[in-house]
Each structure stands twice: as C-alpha cells, then as structure tokens.
C-alpha cells in the first residue's frame, strides 16, 4: 500500500490561514491503514485548526468529509456536495488523492495534509517499511523476493557495495543491507547460483525516468480514444 | 465442556486427569488452529527451554558452556566431584530471575554447601519471595553459601586451564572468581510456545512471557480469557503432582465460572461492547494487533473485523486506535469530546484506580474543585490524540489520570495514555497555539497524596 505521514502541523495550519470555511477530506484506504489520513487523523487536525482559529479570535468553520477512496470518481461524486461546501479542501489523502480532487475540481484549491512516502507494509502495529519502488520492471524472481531497487540505499544491481558491514547499510545502522538479505535468502533456498548473473546497466525508462507512466488494459478499456 | 491441553510436558497426564475429574472433556493436542481457538479453555503446558550460559553461543561468547543448573544429572555430577575449587552459581538475569530457577539455585547452593563445598551465588536480584523462599535463603546462608548481588558481571573461559573467570562488580567493589564449575540457567525463546502463544494471540512484551500474574492475580491465568499457562514456577514448590492439582483447582474453578452467563462482564455491560461498522472498517488489523485481550477476529464475509464478545474487556483501546473511526461502543458509551466547557480543566479518570484517588481528593481541592470537569474512562488507553485535540478547542489543560506503570489491567493503557498526551501536546506546540497541555498523572486508588500534589501543582500553575 501507499505509506504517508502527516505534514508538520504548523505547515498545515499555515497553509489554511485566511480561509473561513475549511473542508477536511479523509481517505479510507491506504492512508487510513497507515494512520496518516483516515477519519481519526482528520478529526485530530480539525481540533488543532479550530483551536488555532479560536485562539486567534477568527471565525472559521471546519468540517470533515470521509471518502472511502479519494482516487475514484464514484466515491468522490457521492460526497461532492459536502466536499465543495467550503472555500478550500484539505486533502488527507496521498499525492494521488490530492491531485485527483484538484483535477476534478479545477476551481477549488486543494491542499495536501500529508507527505506521501513509499509503497510498503506494516512490520508491526504503527511501523511501516518501504518494500517497492514502483520501478516498472520487477526483478524479484532473481533476488529471492527481496528488492535491491527499493531496499538497497543505492539501488545497485550487483551488490553488496563496499560500504555494508555486519549485514547493515553504511547509510544507517538501522537499515539492513538488501544484498546481504538477498544472499542469505538465496543461500537458504539453495539458489546461490542465481547470483552468478552479472546485471548489465539497467534500462530505467520503465521507471520515472521515462516520464509520467500510465497503464491501459485494452480488454477492459474498450473506449475508442485511440 | 471441552478443554485443550497443549504442549509437551510430563505433567500432561496429571492435568488431563484433573480436567476429566472435573467432568470436562480433555483433548491433548499438539497444536491449535486459530479458527478453532475459541473453545471452552486451553491449558498450555509447554515448558520453556533452559540452557546453560554459553550453550547457544553468541550472547556470552564462551568457548565452553557452563553447567546447566536445571539439569539434575549435570548438577549431581558436579556435586559428586571431590574438589577444593569454589563453585559458582551465576544467575545472569537483567531483572528478577524466574522464580522456579531461583528456587532451584538456592536449594542447590545449600545442598552443595552442606557437602563442605565452597559456593558463591551471584545474581543481580536475589529473589526469594515465593512460599518458603526466605527460610531457604536463610538456611543456605547458614550453610555457608556466599550471596553476591552484583551490578555488572562478565564471564570468560580459558580452554587451556579449563576454567571460567567471573568478574563482578557490586557498584563499589570488584571481585574475581576462577573456577572450573559454574552453574547457570538461561531461559530461551521456545519456538513451540511462541507458535502457540501467537496463534492464541496472547499478549507479550519483549521478554516473551505468555502470561503475567500482575494483571490477573493468578500465575496460571494468561492475558486471554479461557487460556491458562501452567508455569513451571508452580511445580517448583513441593511435589509436582500436588502442585499441578493445586493450580488446576483454581484453573477449573475459573473455567466453570467463566461458563456462567454474565460472569465478570459487569465492566463490559457498563461500558458497552465495541462494535465494528463494516462499511467503515479498512480491514487494517490495527484493532486486532492492539487488543491485548485477543478480542478481535477477522470476519472474511464482511471484509471487516468483528469483536469476540466473550473475550472483550471493554477497555476502549480499539476505539482509540481505529484509524477509520469504524469502532464505537454499543449504546454510545464513547468519550464526549467536550463536557462542561465552562470549566477550566478536563480530567479523564481511569476507573481502575486513578478515578478513586481523584474522587477522594476532589473535595479537598477547595475552590479549584469547581474548575474541573471530569469524565470516567474504562482505561487511560481509550483516550486518543484526536479526542484531546478537539477538547483543546475549549480546554487549556487536559489531564489523563491512569494507572501506575505496568499496573494497567489492560496491559498497555498507561503507556498509550502517556504517548497520546505527548502527541497532542506536541501538535499544539508545533502549531504555536500557546497554553495547551495534556498531562498524565499515574496513580493507584491508594495514592491520593500523589494525586493531590500533582493536581495542585497543575492547578496552581
């Protein structure tokens, strides 16, 4: 899932300065699961924004609208009236949701409340780690199911580099060396020979380097747009 | 009624006999399927794995392991040796040594000393608070055992001399013992027990216990209703058979009592069972992971969590932690975001202790009493940062009065309360909204003085 965390609250409060009617839009999917932008977090932000207005003696109204998903038309349409019943939308969604609303409502300012971080999973309650970089050309079959692109600090393909020590990355002793993990896993699987392959310089066009990407599934998307 | 007996232990036969004698069906099983875990009761008998220092390598880096104190044959071998060397018993535990190990160590030390052997007993904490323990400790001292309570110690092994060197410091003095005979015992992770406790979703802290009698006032009762753990500590006293029978009396009484409708559910009736709104549930498993009573189960059909009513203790942690606000108490017993806002201060009082101290102190606060708006909560852990943030619209100071450290009957309530208060205060500080503070007061029902002092220091600013 997409993992995000809330922007520093002062940035959020500052960005809302001058607006009298604020709509906070939570998102019920990834950012709820990673406890950054669900209804609970939206309520907490509302508390701070209202308390701030009260302290400054300003007349500000704040409402919370809970969207199941901010990146699909139908969910947004259902709550459009509530969503547009203000001067500004503070989106508690990932960068996708913020832009989706901004695209959908060109006349309305949509502000982000979160910093979108990575694709990852919860290791334990309240602790998420990055597992995928969305590079567009998965090579997990060669590396024992451990991604060197996302989990090696340098994203190198013929690792480990000279900087890893005692299975930890030189960037931070808390970070596991991905290539150490790959070696251990393949060794456990009895497939160390997979490491004999030398990777040529990678074609990064499938990654962000090829510009914004899109996916079309023709058997489903049968529009005549082509 | 059907009771499962899980784990490999030579006590299983006796446990089974007790269960059958009580008119229940006993099933001796070697594993538990989570989907079938909600049965009448489970008794775990899997003993922990105990090794000697150095036996499993890395931690002590000893080239040769010491003698395993819990291995009778090994201990007898050392006992039968004719030697003038000192014999060291080293219990290297960060905190208290598990009771059954301490008991065995003290008895062994006394026996050795009785055979004219010089025995030095080293540990960080000498635990002898178990029944008859103090007499055993005194008898061991009388027999000549030297007890050393250390702060820091290290052990090394010289292969050539076949001898261990123990260096210990008690904060003032250093001592060094060289001896080929060191008896020790270290409890290690037990994969089987880990597996069982994970499947039954017993609450655990880092040190890997599956139960904790602080919360349930009986050493065999685990953190989950209907799951019992036959701790080896229990069989360290007296004969094994007697000890098992004694413990099983309480366990069986508890199983029977729990089967009576309404048993111990007063707290649940008062606060209301939480209910999951399947439409809002993100199926994120946060409640499942956070619930220390193991009271959530996935409802695959609804793609949402559901509450197992017989296990829920109505603490409200799930309501506080659910990121989608999908959990609310049936009957609307949830916290009011604001109360009497004409008051200056809001106090959330955990009903398990702090509330009593607060109620006792309130009349003595004079004119301040009228400035406080208080609300009882089932647990300090049920107060979340969003509740606090919205309270701050009207109140400047919010106090969460909860249990003292490690006394929470829901295990983590006090720790959660502290973290939520910290977070809410930080939110407002960062937003430069002055004068808002959430403060935690940790007090038991008997700590009225502490409650009063802390309240006054807050009220007097």
How does DSSP assign B264-313, residue by residue?
A: T-HHHHHH--EEE-TTT-----HHHHH-TT--EEEETTTTEEEE-TTT--
Q: Are A46 and B432 in contact (CB < 8 Å)?
A: no
Q: What pLDDT score was predicted for residue A38?
A: 97
**Predicted local confidence at residue A150, as pLDDT:** 96
Q: For A50, which residue in chain B has the nearest alpha carbon?
A: B393
A70 close contact with B: CB closer than 8 A: no
Taking the Cβ of residue A41 and every Cβ of chain B, the question of whether any pair is shorter than 8 Å is answered with yes
Reported as a single tens digit per residue, the pLDDT across B300-344 is: 999 999 998 888 889 999 999 999 999 998 876 677 766 777 778
**Residue B389: is its pLDDT beyond 60?**
yes
More confident position, A190 or B195: A190
3 state DSSP class of B245: helix
Cα separation of B106 and B5, whole Å? 31
User: pLDDT category, A29, cuts 50, 70, 90?
Assistant: very high
Mean pLDDT over each residue of chain B, to the nearest integer: 87
Distance in Å from the first CA to the final CA of chain B:
59
Among B284, B289, B392, select the one facing A47 at the smallest CB separation: B392
pLDDT value at position B242?
81
B208: its two tokens: 């890997």
Any B CB within 8 A of A18 CB: no
Closest Cα in chain A, distance from residue B289 (Å): 6
Our CA dihedral for B237, B242, B244, B247, rounded to 10 degrees, sits at: -80
Q: What pLDDT, on a 0 to 100 scale, did the predictor assign at position B443?
A: 96
Taking a C-beta distance cutoff of 8 angstroms, is the pair B106, B137 a contact?
A: yes
Tokens of A38: 């669900």
- How far from each other are the two terminal CA atoms of chain A, in whole angstroms? 31
In this prediction, residue B189 has a pLDDT band, given cuts at 50, 70 and 90, of: confident
* Contact check, Cβ <8 Å, A54/B393: yes
State the Cα–Cα distance between residues B453 and B461, nearest whole angstrom. 12
A25 CA to chain B: closest CA distance, Å? Answer: 13
Cβ distance B411 to B447 under 8 Å? no
Tell me the pLDDT tens digit for each residue of A131-182: 999 999 999 999 999 999 999 999 999 989 999 999 999 999 999 999 999 9
What is the model's pLDDT at position B21? Answer: 95
pLDDT above 70 as % of chain A: 99
Q: Which two tokens stand for residue A105?
A: 């409502």
Tokens 């062994």, residue located: B108
Judging contacts by C-beta atoms under 8 Å, the chain B residues touching residue A8 are 430
Asked whether the predicted pLDDT for residue B282 surpasses 90, the reply is: yes
CB contact, 8 Å: A87 with chain B? Answer: no
Query: At residue A198, does pLDDT exceed 80?
Result: yes
Report which of residues A209 and B400 the model is more confident about: B400
**pLDDT for the residue B332:** 65
CB B212 within 8 A of CB B223: yes
What confidence score (pLDDT) does residue B50 get?
A: 85
pLDDT exceeds 70 at position B290: yes
- Residue B36 — pLDDT band, cuts 50, 70, 90? low
Other beta carbons within 10 Å of A158: 12
Query: Can you give the pLDDT at residue B275?
Result: 94
B61 has pLDDT over 70: yes
Residue B64: Cβ-neighbour burial (10 angstroms; 0-12, 13-18, 19+): middle
Pairing mode, if any, of strands B327-329 and B274-276? antiparallel
Of B54-68, B205-219, B265-279, where does mean pLDDT reach its minimum? B205-219
Q: Which of B65, B92, B90, B67 is nearest to B80 (CA)?
A: B67
Which position has the higher pLDDT, B39 or B81?
Answer: B81
ipTM associated with this complex: 0.91
Residue B237 has pLDDT above 60, yes or no: no
Mean pLDDT of B90-115: 86
pLDDT tens for B349-370 read 999 999 999 999 999 998 899 9
Model confidence at A98, in pLDDT bands (50, 70, 90)? Answer: very high
Class of domain A2-117: alpha beta
pLDDT in the model for residue A226: 52
Among all chains, which residue has been given the structure tokens 């819990």?
A: B70
| CB contact (8 A) between residue A40 and residue B325 | yes
**Residues on chain B bordering chain A, Cβ-to-Cβ distance under 8 angstroms:** 280, 282, 284, 286, 289-290, 322-325, 384-386, 388-393, 424, 427-428, 430-434, 436
* Residue B141: predicted pLDDT: 93
Mean pLDDT of B444-460: 94
pLDDT at position A191, please? 94
pLDDT of residue B47: 79
pLDDT at B28: 85
Q: For residue B384, which of B434, B426, B429, B335 has the smallest C-alpha distance?
A: B335
> Is the minimum CB–CB distance between A21 and chain B shorter than 8 Å?
no
Q: Which tokens belong to B325?
A: 């606000």
CA distance B438 to chain A (A): 13
The mean pLDDT value for B209-234 works out to: 73
- The closest CB to that of B386, out of A44, A50, A54, belongs to A44
In degrees and rounded to multiples of 5, residue A116 shows phi and psi of -80, 130
Cβ distance A35 to B286 less than 8 Å, yes or no, reads yes
Structure tokens at B442: 């940790």
Domain locations in chain A as residue ranges: 2-117, 135-210
Q: Identify all chain A residues contacting B324, using CB atoms and an 8 Å cutoff.
A: 28, 32, 38-40
Q: Nearest CB to A40: which of B322, B428, B430? A: B322
**What average pLDDT does this structure show over B91-111?**
85
pLDDT in the model for residue B384 = 95
Q: Please, how many CA atoms are within 13 Å of residue B184, restricted to the half-sphere of its CB?
A: 26
- Report the residue count for chain B: 461
Cβ contact, residue pair B385, A44, below 8 Å: yes
Give contacts of A38 with chain B, Cβ < 8 Å: 282, 323-325
Q: Do A48 and B290 touch (CB under 8 A)?
A: no
Q: What are phi and psi of B316, to 5 degrees?
A: 90, 5
**Are the C-beta atoms of residues B105 and B210 closer than 8 Å to each other?**
no
- Percent of chain A whose pLDDT exceeds 90: 95
List, in sequence order, every beta strand (DSSP E) within B138-226.
146-149, 152-158, 163-169, 174-179, 181-184, 186-188
CB contact under 8 A, B433 and A55: yes
Averaged over A212-220, what is the pLDDT?
Answer: 92
What is the b/e burial string over B77-95, where b = at least 16 CB atoms within 10 angstroms of the residue's CB?
ebeeeeeeebbbbbbbbee
How confident is the model over B120-168, as pLDDT tens digits? Answer: 999 988 767 767 788 989 999 999 999 999 999 999 999 898 999 999 9
Do residue A125 and residue B434 have CB atoms under 8 angstroms apart? no
Q: How far is B152 from chain A (nearest CA, A)?
A: 27
Closest alpha carbon to A55 in B170, B292, B435: B435
Neighbours of A54 (CB within 10 A): 15
Grade residue B105 by pLDDT with cuts at 50, 70 and 90. very high
Q: Judge whether B60 and B157 are in contact, CB under 8 Å.
A: no
B442 confidence band (pLDDT: 50, 70, 90): very high
A121 pLDDT tier (thresholds 50, 70, 90): very high
Please answer whether residues A58 and A16 qualify as being in contact, where contact means their C-beta atoms are separated by less than 8 angstroms.
Answer: no
What average pLDDT score do residues B376-387 get? Answer: 95
Higher-confidence position of B350 and B97:
B350
Any residues with CB less than 8 A from the CB of A91 and at least 6 apart, and which? A25, A27, A37, A70, A97, A98, A101, A110, A111, A112, A113, A114
Rounded-to-integer distance, Cα B434 and Cα B283, Å: 38
- Return d(Cα B322, Cα B288) in angstroms, integer: 10
Q: CA nearest B243: which of B230, B258, B256?
A: B230
Name the band, by pLDDT with cuts 50, 70 and 90, for residue B212: low
* pLDDT tens per residue across span A34-89: 999 999 999 999 999 999 999 999 999 999 999 999 999 999 999 999 999 999 99
């Amino acid at each position: 899932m997409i993992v995000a965390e809330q922007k520093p609250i002062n940035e959020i409060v500052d960005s809302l300065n001058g607006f009298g009617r604020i709509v906070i839009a939570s998102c019920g999917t990834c950012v709820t699961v990673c406890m950054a932008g669900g209804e609970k977090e939206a309520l907490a932000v509302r508390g701070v924004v209202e308390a701030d207005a009260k302290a400054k003696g300003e007349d500000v109204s704040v409402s919370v609208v809970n969207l199941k998903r901010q990146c699909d038309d139908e969910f947004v349409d259902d709550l459009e009236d509530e969503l547009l019943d203000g001067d500004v939308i503070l989106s508690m969604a990932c960068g996708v949701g913020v832009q989706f609303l901004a695209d959908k409502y060109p006349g309305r300012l949509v502000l982000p409340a979160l910093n979108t971080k990575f694709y990852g999973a919860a290791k334990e309650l309240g602790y998420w780690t990055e597992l995928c970089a969305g590079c567009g050309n998965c090579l997990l079959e060669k590396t024992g199911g451990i991604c060197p692109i996302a989990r090696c600090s340098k994203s190198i393909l013929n690792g480990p580099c000279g900087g890893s020590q005692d299975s930890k990355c030189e960037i931070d002793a808390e970070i596991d060396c991905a290539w150490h993990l790959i070696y251990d896993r393949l060794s456990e699987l009895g497939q160390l020979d997979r490491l004999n392959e030398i990777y040529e310089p990678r074609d990064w066009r499938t990654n962000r380097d090829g510009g914004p990407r899109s996916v079309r599934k023709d058997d489903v998307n049968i529009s005549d747009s082509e | 009624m059907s009771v499962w007996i899980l784990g490999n232990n030579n006590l299983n036969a006796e446990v089974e006999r007790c269960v059958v004698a009580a008119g229940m069906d006993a099933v001796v099983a070697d594993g538990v399927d989570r989907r079938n875990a909600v049965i009448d009761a489970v008794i775990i008998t899997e003993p922990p794995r105990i090794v000697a220092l150095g036996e499993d390598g890395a931690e002590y880096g000893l080239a040769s392991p010491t003698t395993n104190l819990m291995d009778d044959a090994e201990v007898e071998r050392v006992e039968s040796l004719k030697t003038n060397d000192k014999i060291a018993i080293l219990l290297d535990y960060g905190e208290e040594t598990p009771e059954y190990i301490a008991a065995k160590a003290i008895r062994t030390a006394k026996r050795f000393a009785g055979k004219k052997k010089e025995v030095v007993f080293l540990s960080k904490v000498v635990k002898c608070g178990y029944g008859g323990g103090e007499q055993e400790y005194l008898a061991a001292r009388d027999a000549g055992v030297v007890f050393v309570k250390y702060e820091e110690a290290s052990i090394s092994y010289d292969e050539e001399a076949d001898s261990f060197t123990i260096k210990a410091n008690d904060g003032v003095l250093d001592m060094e013992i060289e001896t080929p005979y060191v008896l020790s015992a270290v409890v290690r992770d037990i994969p089987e027990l880990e597996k069982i406790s994970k499947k039954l979703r017993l609450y655990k802290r880092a040190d890997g216990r599956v139960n904790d009698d602080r919360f349930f006032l009986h050493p065999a009762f685990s953190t989950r209703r209907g799951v019992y753990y036959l701790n080896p500590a229990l069989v360290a006293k007296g004969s094994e058979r007697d000890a098992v029978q004694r413990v099983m009396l309480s366990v069986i009484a508890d199983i029977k009592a729990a089967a009576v409708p309404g048993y111990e559910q007063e707290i649940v009736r008062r606060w209301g069972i939480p209910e999951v709104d399947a439409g809002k549930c993100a199926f994120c498993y946060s409640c499942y992971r956070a619930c220390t009573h193991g009271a959530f189960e996935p409802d695959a059909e609804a793609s949402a969590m559901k509450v197992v009513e017989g296990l829920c203790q109505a603490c409200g942690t799930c309501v506080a932690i659910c990121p989608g606000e999908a959990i609310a108490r049936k009957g609307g017993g949830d916290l009011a975001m604001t109360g009497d806002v004409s008051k200056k201060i809001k106090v959330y009082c955990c009903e398990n202790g702090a509330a009593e101290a607060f109620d006792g102190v309130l009349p003595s606060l004079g004119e301040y009493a009228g400035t406080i708006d208080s609300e009882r909560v089932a647990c300090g852990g049920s107060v979340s940062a969003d509740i606090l943030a919205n309270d701050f619209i009207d109140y400047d100071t919010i106090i969460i009065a909860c249990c003292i450290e490690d006394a929470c009957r829901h295990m983590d309530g006090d720790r959660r309360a502290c973290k939520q208060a910290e977070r809410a205060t930080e939110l407002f500080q960062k937003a430069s909204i002055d004068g808002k503070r959430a403060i935690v007061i940790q007090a038991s029902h008997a700590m009225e003085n502490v409650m009063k002092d802390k309240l006054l220091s807050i009220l007097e600013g």
